[in-house]
Chain A
Amino acid sequence: MKVSYAHMGTSVMAVNALARTLDYEIVPPTPPTESTLTLGVRHSPEFACIPFKIVLGTYIESLERGARLLVSGGGRGPCRAGYYGEMHRRILLDLGYEHEMLFFWPPLRSPLDFYRKLRTFKGAASWPRVYRALRLTWEKLMALDDLEIRSHRVRPLERCPGDTTRAFRRALGLVDAAETVEETKKARSGGLELLDSVPVYTGDPDDLVKIGVIGEIYVQLEPFANFRLEERLGELGAWVQRSIFLTNFARTDILQRGDQGVAKTAAPYLPENVGGHGQSSVGEIIQYAERGFDGVIQLAPFACIPEIVAKSIVPRLSREYNIPVMTLFIDEQTGEGGIQTRLEAFVDLLRARRRGRKDVDDAALSGS
């Protein structure tokens, strides 16, 4: 049975490797495009969030290419994403796509259910083989995250706009082609070298404007959903750090019950898990502020309740921790131009704050 899954940024390469090692014939999901979104929007309830719509569009594209088994997973806590597997399944059946949906809950929520699904998924493969497959997947995820983190550091200093993105794509190609743990390790270091050989301006990275990105996982990880936010910010000369990387997310949110540190930090402002990444967003703003970041961008699907709850606390956090926070709500109506203008203005704002009022004063006074 041909298998497919959602496309969430670079992680798809690791998932492809997992399914392949388990002897699945895969229909690798293609990166979402405008037509994916159009498909998803057409068949989704209007008030479903943008991740739901893009993922639905991706499923349809994969089913059209022959996929029959869809594998997905969903949230803990009161976020609608927990129902999305079932919703997607029914919509796709209504559309006439015969398929099966394997929807994983976090293992601790219902260990037995998780085990049963895992058994179904592993098929005839032996457990040692499953272990080897997971080992390779994990290695790939780490390599992908390391490359991405490095690209965020290199991009703001690149001499020629686009060089880092080109090198990053080549580096991803290396990781994708690797078939064993050893090869993945080699691909990782080869990829890092590619990124390190991008011609850059010398300068102290500490002088760069540092921006933390927080918010819902899908819009953080899928560049199509966030208008390639990290590339844009990097090209504006900002050093970006994202709060969610799959390798740390796997450790804190899938295997444990969320990041206790962040939850504790958020507790004075939001003592409850409001679902999704709402509580994390609150805690992460504080953590970024304490680590000396210049500003934070909150990414949220339009109508995402957990992020709306977090946003309502943002003005207070922003004041008390003296850190600017800009929220970008994303849906199918969001325009690229508006995002770019806001990002440029936000980077200008952070830079001006960093310099103090000196420059603007110079500008204002020399005119009079």
Chain B
Amino acid sequence: MKISRIFNQLMASILVNSIYAMVNYPVVMINTLLAPLSILAVVTFASHGSLLPIGALGALIMNMVQSGISIQGDLSHLKNDMKLQDMVVSSPTSAGIYIFGMAISEIVYSIPTLTLLLILNFLFVKASLFAWFLIFIDMATIFTFSIALGFLLSTFSSDIVQSWAFAGILSPLLSTIPPVYYPITFIPLPYRYISYLSPTTYAAEIAQSLAGYVPVNIYEFIMLWIVLIGITVLIFFLALKKSRWREV
């Protein structure tokens, strides 16, 4: 009974924030597709096809980041413009279930893009089953980081214009500029360290090394995971601290 109730509450968030939007306005499904694919196309053409596999992995990371960050705009819109969150606050749904449902809805929203990118990856990225498993964990981690960051930002955002600004700033900072679509070795050494300010650099290097495109020794590999998980836990903790279901 309890589990079915929680399932229904999760489904409400997923339906409102993704499925109903996709059913009522099918054009939104193209929305998440354009940015990752357009950059992948540019990188592929500019490298005469040599960066297609790395680019495909990068597009997957960008999709995860974009999906996660989207939660800040959606939460802010539903809270500030629709006052829907106030209706949910006063209902039996808890904050955790509402946010978790919204997080899943972001993934559901990007299912068409995700499907296409996974097909591209399976076609062009040669990796073992175990490597794919780790790449999956890597993607889940960067998605968790993005969701936590998006949620944290939504608590600062008082209207949708501010949310759009956050999204506009974060997307290039996290997925276009860092070495997500290309190997980090393409960046000259003194500047290479700057790219490590972005957690997507770690996620990309993990994925690229697992697919055999960049050489990383075991110690570096473990370090990449430690930093990526560390940043994710830190942002997650900050988001939890900042979150308030009931205002003071």
Is B truly associated with A? no
Q: Which residues of B contact A (CB under 8 A)?
A: none
